[in-house]
Each structure stands twice: as structure tokens, then as C-alpha cells.
Chain A
Amino acid sequence: MSEAGAAAVDPIHQFHIKVLQPLNFFGVDASFTNSALFMVLGALAVIFVMLLGTSGRKIIPGRLQSTAEVFFEFTADMVRQVCGEAGMRFFPLVFTIFMFVLACNLIGLWPYTYEVMAQIIITAAMAFSIILLSIVYGIYKHGFHWFGLFKPSGVMAALLPFIILIEILSFVSRPVSLSVRLFANMLAGHIMLVVFGGFCVMLLSSSFGWLSPLPLLGITLLTAFELLVSVLQAYVFAVLTCVYLNDALHPGH
């Protein structure tokens, strides 16, 4: 999309990893990158809100304490509703995941920031860890009875091999779909934002400069939509984490 004069607006450039501080950990490249910086910022934001919010301990909470309480109650309700009371042992994990994804998504909406969840490796690392945890915990708690997850009740014996194979495929597709969902949403949203911004700049540097408020309006609406999508995708990730962990806690079927 290179027009006369203006350099081509590359929507992928915003996702480039820039090494801020090269580090070497026994031959493994553990450099501190811009992605790591924004992950640290996201974690610090969550820590700030939760620690400062719960330090007052007033009976009638102020704004920050109320915020912390709302996040806590919302996640606790979600875990209890999906997994029952036995699922509360996973509450710290689910809360961490939800708050971290939410904070990273929201931070990525500001200009000149880096969207952490727009890298498939990060979402895949989280998703695969969650599924691995659910498998390990399921086998630890239920032994080989956990494999009954793949055998739904009330199936004809002739179909059973196919049904078991299909259920196994469904299960294997879980971590992939969990990671791809968050990644694709964040990637697509931020690419759209940069593309519309590019339209704005290109229109300004051409003879149709009077049209440039239109992409600007587009960016505004798109940012509002991206806000909704960021929060929603964080919520969906957390809910699905609860659902998959619930399959380890109660392998019903």
C-alpha cells in the first residue's frame, strides 16, 4: 500500500520484538525485550490495583478498594459457578490469568504501547500450560478414571472407537483454539487500528486531505470496539480456563 511520497504503512511493524537489554542465561537467549517490558508493566498494574486496593480495608470501600473487590468477587463467582466449591483451589491461577490478560490487553490499547497478547507464543504458552495442568491434575486426582472423559455415556458399541477418537481430537484442539482465539482477536484488532491510521495519514498527504476525518472517526469507533473485545476476550479466556479445569475436577460424562 505505498502511495506517492508517504512510506508504506506496515501494520506488522508494531509487533516486532525489539531487544532492550541483551541477556544470556547459560546459552539461552533471555534478553529483555519490549514484550517482556509490557508484561512486567501489566503485572505491576495488577499488583498496584490489588495491593493498594486491599490495603485500606474499610468497611465502606473507596474507589480503589471497590475496584479490587469487584475483580475479586467477579472471578470468585465465576470459578464457583463453573467448578463448584472444589474449584476454589484453582482460584489464584484463574485470577492471575484473568487479571494479567485484562491488564495486558488494556495497556495495549494506548498509543506507542506493545500488545503482549498479539504474539501466539505467549497465548500458546498459557493455553498449553493450562491444559497440561488439567491433564496432570485429572490423572493425579482420578487415576485412570480420568480417561473416562473421552467416553461419553450411552453410545453404541459399534461407534465407540470413532467416538473416542473424535473426543480425543476435540480435546487436543482445546489448547490450540484457546490460544488462537485470544491471539487472533488481538492481532486483528491492532492490525485494523494501524491500517485505519495509515489511511488517515495517506489521505492527509494526498489531495483528498478533507476526507481524512473519516478514517479518524473509524479509528475512534474501532478503539471503542477493541475495548469491548479486549475485556471480553480476557473474560472468555478465564471462563474457558475454569471449564477445562472443571473437566479435571469432575470428569463427568
Chain B
Amino acid sequence: MQNGSDDADDMKARLAKLANELQTRREADNADERRRSGTGQPDKSLGRAMSLGFRVLTEFVVATIVGALIGWRLDVWLGTAPFLLILFLGLGLAAGFNNVYKLAAPPAPQPSRQGEPDGDQPPRQGQQARQGQQDGGEPPREN
């Protein structure tokens, strides 16, 4: 049946053409997304993450050391043997963890301010609707 096979060939040709167009459209979309999320972002997000990490390290270690120093000097001043040192070392550790917690999960901003502190804070997951983009903090897209 000549017509049937012509129709079938037509169909196949159209299907192939549509598949091609779909493929090129998909690749363009992927390239777009890669470009939007990829250009320079690795460097920027790496620097941002490293600065955040170093901030956490400094604040944690310094809080503990400051606690230990205060405890040690109070011990020397008051003459109590190592008790105040241990107490303030523990308090310093708790203060260090407090600092890290405030860094990792910042409290909700006051209503009087526009946005949130930018920079050394990890992207907040869905606690507020954010218009702007942060590195990789976009809500997951449904495929």
C-alpha cells in the first residue's frame, strides 16, 4: 500500500524532526542552566564557603580560648585550684558552639530591615521567599 507507507514515512520523518528539535532545545536549556549557575560561581561559592568556614573556626576556637584564659586568670586571682579554669573552659566551649549555631542558622531578621546580611552565611532553605539568587540556593526544580 503505497499511501500507507508514504504516511508512515512522513510520520517517521516528522517524528525524527521533532525529536531533533526537542534535543537541541533541551541542550540549549541545559547549557543555559549551566551557564547561569556555573560561570564564576565555583570560585565565588568556594571563596564564600571558605570564608564562612574560617569564620566558624576562628569564632569557635577563640571563644574557647577566651573562656579558658578568663578561667585561668580568675583562678590565679582567687586562688581556687583548677575549678574555675574547668568551669570557664566549659562555658567557653558552650559560647563557641553558640557562635557556630548563630552562624549556621541565623535568627530571623527584624521586620524593619529589607533583606538579610549577605556574605558569610549559608543559603537559607525556604524560611523566607527570596527573590534574589544565592549560590546554588535555588529551590529544586521539578524535572
Contacts and interface: CB of A to CB of B under 8 A. Distances in A.
Interface of A: 78, 80-84, 162, 165-167, 169-170, 172-173, 176-177, 180-181, 184-185, 228, 232-233, 235-236, 239, 242-243, 250, 252
Nearest to B119: A239
B98 A166 contact: yes
Contacts of B115: 81
B110 A250 contact: yes
B63 A169 contact: yes
Interface stretch (B16-24, B50-58, B78-86): B50-58
Contacts of B92: 169, 173
Contacts of B67: 169, 173
A81 B98 contact: no
A236 B114 contact: no
B115 to A, nearest CB: 5
Contacts of A181: 54-55, 58
Interface of A: prevailing SS: helix
A165 B110 CA distance: 24
B66 interface: yes
B74 interface: no
Given A165-B91, A185-B54, A232-B47, A81 B117 contact: yes
Given A173-B62, A176-B62, A250-B112, 5 more contacts: A162-B94, A169-B95, A172-B70, A232-B51, A239-B119
B118 interface: yes
Contacts of B54: 181, 185
A250 B110 CA distance: 9
Question: Which residue, of B96, B113, B116, has the highest number of chain A Cβ atoms within 10 A?
Answer: B113
Contacts of A165: 91
A80 B119 contact: no
B75 interface: no
B62 A180 contact: yes
Contacts of B118: 78, 81-82, 239
A166 B94 contact: yes
Interface in B90-137: 91-92, 94-96, 98-99, 107, 110, 112-120
A243 B113 CA distance: 13
